[in-house]
Every structure is written in structure tokens, then in C-alpha cells.
Structure 1
Amino acid sequence: MSEEPFLRGVALAQWAYGAERLGVPAFDIMKTCRIDPVQALEPSSEIPLPLFENYLLELILASGDELFGLHIGQQIMPALYGSLSMLIMSAESVEDAVRLAIQYSPLVVGSAGGLDFRDSGDDKIFLGLLAYRNHVVRRHWIEAVGALLFQAFRFHNKSLYPEKIFFEHSSPSKKSEKEIRDFFISPIHFGASFNGAIIARKKAELRLHDYGKYSLEMARKLADEQLEAQKKQQDVIGKIKLHIEDLMGSAPPRRESVAERLGVSSRKLDRRLSEAGVTWQQLVDSIRSQLAHEYLAQAHYKIKDVASMLGFADVRAFQRRFRHWTGVSPSQYKKSLNQPGGSASE
């Protein structure tokens, strides 16, 4: 698994072609963001998360559309998703489709996001996991993914909608909020602690069709071959890291929160970390240190912005931790990057 989170060319294609349909010069913007369209739009290509995130932000700003993500997600383009589309369309039930989407999501989102799924009594809880740090990008991305999944299931059965939908971002303008609520139908809770949805068990078990197993087996075989070729399936630690990065976007990451998301006790989570030879704090510090260096290298991020994006309670806490990691303060590190041949050491 790559150390730096990345996304696949498939994800880039959804936003690029979708934006062009909406009148946004997506390919011109791609070039200004130093992304080679020919190479990057290959389905299996890897686009580093910071590069992809910057591109999405530029698209969103150029669109001037408060619901750009939602409008991107409303454009279903099955051909882009290849074997993943075949799998979902061939699944026998909603739950089967979701489990397949979770298993094979690395074909699209690489190591920078995904879905998680767990039982909660008579309901099924779905979680959308994001490694994005920019709050604007996170909002548009999750609304786009939500719209894609919502339409995919509604294509099979008009009654397939969640009991509740949760967005971590705050409510947009009244006009935009109305459009979101009208589209999703379900009750929506803005400002939640996670991005996700609750679906009643009876709906999750609802049969989608009776195509038989042959088409599903063929789709699964193709998807397995693609995953094997990529060799990027996330291990246990990779999954824990993804949850940490997702929580980091809105609050300080807590091991209890990650354990709850994974459906295990804190003790079992610690045991899994121990087996991998790492502690919770070491893992959190590793992620924060890597991201801190990436964000501080971007001129438009202030130190207080970086502290917030990494889930620190305040700027001073971030400054102390960064000095512990590097021996210099964030401001000294940032200043050194602007000096030709400069060093970040004192």
C-alpha cells in the first residue's frame, strides 16, 4: 500500500467529464493543476491525494455552484467504473451490492477513501470515509458519492432510500438545502459527527433482481483480477488509518471512536495495533506528521488552518507537537521552504 494516499483515474474521470457537462473547463483546469490528462485519466493511474484535492477545489471554485458535488453525483456514468459497475448491477440484494462496493472501492478511490458498513439492531449503518482535509472538498465529495449511490439503488427500486442521512458539514443556503432534501427524500441531519446513512434491514435485504449468479461471478472475477494487478488492497492498519484521517477532518481522532466505527472494543483495537508493531499514538503522529509537512508546503494554508485540519484542539498544541517531530516550529519550517537551498533545521 502506498504511504501517500492516492485516488484512481476513474475517480478523476467522474469529476472531469461531469464538470465538462456542467460547463466547467475541467481539462484546462487539470493542466493548470499540473495533471497530465492522458496519463491521469487511465483507470488504474494513481493521483496523489494533495494533487487530486487541489484539482477538485479549483473545479468547485470555477463552477461557482454551491451544489457542484451533488450535480456531479447526479450524472451516472457506468462505463467509467467498469467491473465495479458490473458487480453492483449484478448483486442480488442492496446489502450484497454495498458489501461489494466496500470490497472493491479501491478500484476507484485507491487508498484515500471508501465505505464501511455495520449492523445496529434492525438497521444497517453506512459510513463514508474521507482522507480529504479541505472542508469544502469534503462536502462536495460526500454529496457527490451520496448522489451516485442513491441513484444507483433507486434505479432498481423507487422505495430504496435511507431512513436517515448524516452529513458532517453544516447546512448550506436555504435554497440549496431544499434542493438537497428534495433530491434525497430522506430526513437529513447536517453538522453530524460522521458522513453516512441508516437503512432499515428489510430494505437492505430487499432483492434487486433474479439474474442468477453467472453475471455476478464473471464481474467478481474481473474485479479480482484488477485488484490483484493493483496490489493495493488495504490491510487492517490501512483501514484504521483511513478512519483516523476521516475523523481528523472534523475533530481530534480518538481511539474509542475508531474502535466503535470498526465494531470492536478499544482493547481489541490496541491488540491489532500491537500485532502490527505500532501504538495508537505512533500511528496518529505518523499520519499527522506526514500531512503537516504536505500542508505547510502549500502557501495558501496558514498554520492555524493546518492545526485545524489535523484535528488539534488549538494552534499551540500543534506547534508543540510539530517541534517534537522535527525540532523546529511550523513557522520556521514554512519559512525554510521559501529559501533557495534552505534547510528546516536550526
Structure 2
Amino acid sequence: MQLLKDYTGSVYGGLGHLLYAYSQAKGLVISKKLEQVQNLERFDYSIWRELLTDIQQQIHVPALGLDIADYVQPKHLGIIAYIALSCTTLGEALHRYHDLHRLVYDGSSLQVNMQDDYLMIGWGDIPFHLTTQVTNEIAIALMIKFLYLFMEFDSIYVYEIHFTHPAPPNIALYEQYFHCKVRFSQPVAQIVLPIQELAKPFRQGDQTLHHLLMQQAQALLDKLPNSTTLDHRLQQAILTGLQKNLYQIEPISRQLGMSIRQLQRHLQQQDTTYQNRVQEVRHLLAEQYLKDPHLSLLEIALLLSYSEQSAFQRAFKHWTGRTPQQWRKQQHTSP
């Protein structure tokens, strides 16, 4: 019963890779436990906490969680970082982070509240006795780094950072790191942002992602030999729309500078519908994503804007007559 009571979810395996990279950079001993999680897609939060404690016992640096977070790369956050690369504003990125946060850590919902002119983003579901200052530090620092990876460093104004544990002797170190007031012994670990920051635009789009999207668009167009320039633009709009969960006909037609009726009429002339076109894109992308062994079915489902993995699995079986697992296995065994 105690095990069930203390179970608080799992973390993304990429965070294990982050700790490995940090340990190597600092010349630390790589523990057997850290070695064991390197090939895991996910592992228990309790192991994550133990790994951080092991590192803390080896290296005595103030604000260890902040130090570790400095080594994070998009690959350590997984598909959530990949999706964020297609966002255009801070508000959009935070919205996607909220939706997909469970991919990084599924034991606690991300709580977002507004008070006066401020947005509070926090983690309140984890029992206090199961957290440490380091686990809270790295959770908040990773989210800040998540944003800084895609925006100019000085362009985000954070109002305050709150931690639940008592204040350490070096508060100034935290305030220098976050560039804002940092409070300790607070009810919730959270980030406080002025609401006006949500409209902040990202720097120029990531060229790697842009190239990938263009490849995907071309692959789709190759399967539509009679496509027009409008179809080309439609494919691209659906591709990026799926990653932003904004693929419905209203925002897509607006992006194309058309009314919904005009877009529907164009598709009717091709004996298809908007929903069919979305499913075509999803099908082709699904097969492309399934070829990547590093993407889990849940990650693929979210990339395709399915709220549940089961919905993606049903759709894929409808398209191909096989489950995603069966299709992937056949691809792996094919010569």
C-alpha cells in the first residue's frame, strides 16, 4: 500500500539522458541506476528523485537543479520541444506545454491560473514529502529553459518564481539565474508571468523544422498528382496546424485567405472533403512518424492532434487494416 501511496507518475526517458550528460561533463561517477534508465522510454518519478539525490551527494554545488538545467537540449524534452518549434508566440508555446506536459512528467497536472495581470503556472499535486528543493528547481528551470531554447534569452520577463521549500542561504544566486524575485516557503512551486508576455513573438523559425515540414508537404503532394498551388498551401497549413492543434477548417481557411464555403467548394470539385484531406495528411504523417523508433505511440498521437492514443490506434487501423504496432513491426522486419 505504501508503494501505491508514494507513486507519483513517471518522467520522460530523455531526462535520464540529461543527467548522464551532466554527470559526464562534471566528471562524476555514472551509477548503475543511471546506466539502467538510458534505454528506457520512461521511468518512475521515485527513481528520478533518487538519481538527483545521488548526483547531489557527489557534487556539492548550490542550486544543483539550475546547474543541471543549463545542460538541457531539445532532445532531452522529447517531442514537446519538437512541437514547440512550430509555435509563433509565447502564449502558444505555453498552451502546448500545458497540453503536453504529461509527456515530460505525467504525475502532476500543470496548473495555470490568472490573477489580476499575472499568469501563474505551477505544480501543486505532488505531496510535499515526495519532492526536494532539487526536484522543484529542475522542474521550474527546465520550463524556463524550454522557453529560452526558442526565444531570445532576454525577451521573456518573469515576474516571480515560487518554491515550496525553505530558503537556502544563497537566494541571490536564484535571482541572478531567473532575473526576477524568487520566493521560498510558498504554497505552490510556480512561475509568475505578466499576461502581456503571452503575445511575445518567437525569434525566426527553426530551419530544421521548416525543412522537415517542407519534406512532409512534398511527400504529400507527390501523392496528389493533380494538386494545385492552393492544395500545396492547404497541405502545409494542415501540417503545421496539426502540430499546433489548430487544424480545424475555420483557422485553416482563414490562414489561406478564404471563406469556409470557398474552401469546401474547392474540395468538392475534387470529390473530397476537408475532413478527408485532414485524414490523408494524418495517415501519411503517421506512417512517417512510425518509422522513427524513438517516437512512442502516445507521442505520435499527440503530434497528429489526437487527444488519446486509443483514438489514433482506431484511426490507423481504419486506414491500413493493421494496428500501429503491427505496421511498425512489419516495417522493422521487412528487408
For the aligned pair, the TM-score class normalised by the smaller chain equals 0.5 to 0.7
**Is 217-226 or 202-211 further displaced after alignment?**
217-226
Superposed CA RMSD: 3.4
**Other-structure match for 1:168:** 164
Match of 1:123 in 2: 118
**CA shift for structure 1 position 21:** 1.7
What is the CA distance between 1:36 and its match in structure 2?
Answer: 5.3
* In structure 1, distance between residues paired with 2:52 and 2:143: 20
Distance 1:154 1:132 in 2: 29
Matched residue, 1:16: 20
The counterpart of 1:195, out of the listed 153, 165, 189, is 189
SS in 1 for 2:78: helix
Task: State the distance in 1 between where 2:77 and 2:40 align.
Answer: 8
Aligned position for 2:39: 42
For residue 258 of structure 1, what is the aligned residue in structure 2?
A: none
Partner of 1:226: 298
1:98-117 aligned within 5 A: 98-109=94-105, 111-117=106-112
Q: Deviations over 1:226-245 (max 9, x none)?
A: 346799979xxxxxxxxxxx
1:145 aligns with 2:142: no
Q: Is the 8 A contact 1:115 1:126 kept in 2?
A: yes
AA in 2 matched with 1:75:
Y
Q: Deviations over 1:8-36 (max 9, x none)?
A: 312222223223222322x3x2x1x4x65
Give the residue type in structure 2 aligned to 1:80: H
Are positions 1:207 and 2:201 aligned together? yes
Task: Name the structure, 1 or 2, with higher relative contact order (CA <8 Å, separation 6+).
Answer: 1
Q: Which whole-Å CA distance do the structure 2 matches of 1:43 and 1:145 have between them?
A: 20
Query: What does the per-residue CA deviation read over 1:48-74, in whole Å, with 9 as the maximum and x for residues that have no partner?
Result: 333332222112112222321110011
2:120–2:193 CA contact under 8 A, matched in 1? yes
**1:113 Cα deviation (Å)?**
3.4
Contact 1:53/1:132 (8 A) holds in 2: no
- Provide the rounded CA distance (Å) in 2 between the counterparts of 1:166 and 1:146: 9
Equivalent in the alignment of 1:73: 69
8 Å CA contact 1:227, 1:233 repeated in 2: no
Q: TM-score, normalised by structure 1?
A: 0.55
Tell me by how many angstroms 1:196 deviates.
0.4
Q: Which runs of 5+ in 2 are unaligned?
A: 206-235, 246-281, 283-288, 290-294, 310-335
Partner residue of 1:60? 56
Identical columns (%): 13
Q: CA deviation at 1:200?
A: 0.9
C-alpha spacing 1:233/1:146, structure 2 compared with 1 (3 Å): farther
- One of 185, 208, 217 as aligned partner of 2:242: 217
| Inter-partner Cα distance in structure 2 for 1:216 and 1:12 | 31
- 2:266 corresponds in structure 1 to none
Contact 1:165 1:187 in 2 (8 A): yes
**2:155 partner SS:** coil
1:291-334 CA distance string (max 9 Å, x none): xxxxxxxxxxxxxxxxxxxxxxxxxxxxxxxxxxxxxxxxxxxx
Q: Is the 8 A contact 1:90 1:216 kept in 2?
A: no
Verify the 8 A CA contact 2:298 2:308 in the aligned structure 1: no
Instruction: Tell me the number of residue pairs that the alignment of Structure 1 and Structure 2 aligns.
Output: 221
Change in Cα spacing, 1:163 to 1:21, as seen in structure 2 (3 Å) is same
CA contact (8 A) 2:13 2:38 kept: yes
State whether residues 22 and 68 of structure 2, in contact with CA within 8 Å, keep that contact through their aligned partners in structure 1. yes
Where does residue 237 of structure 1 map in the other structure? none
- What is the distance in 2 between the residues matched to 1:57 and 1:233? 34
Structure 1, residues 133-174: CA drift from partner, whole Å, max 9, x if none?
A: 557x5211221232233234345131302111111112212x
Deviations along 1:270-306, one digit per CA (max 9) or x if unpaired, are: xxxxxxxxxxxxxxxxxxxxxxxxxxxxxxxxxxxxx
| Runs ≥4 residues deviating over 6 A | 219-224, 228-234
Q: 1:8 to 1:147 in 2, by over 3 A?
A: closer
**2:11 match:** 7
User: What TM-score do you get using the length of structure 2 for normalisation?
Assistant: 0.56
Alpha-carbon contact 2:14-2:75 (below 8 Å) kept: no
> Whose radius of gyration is greater, 1 or 2?
2
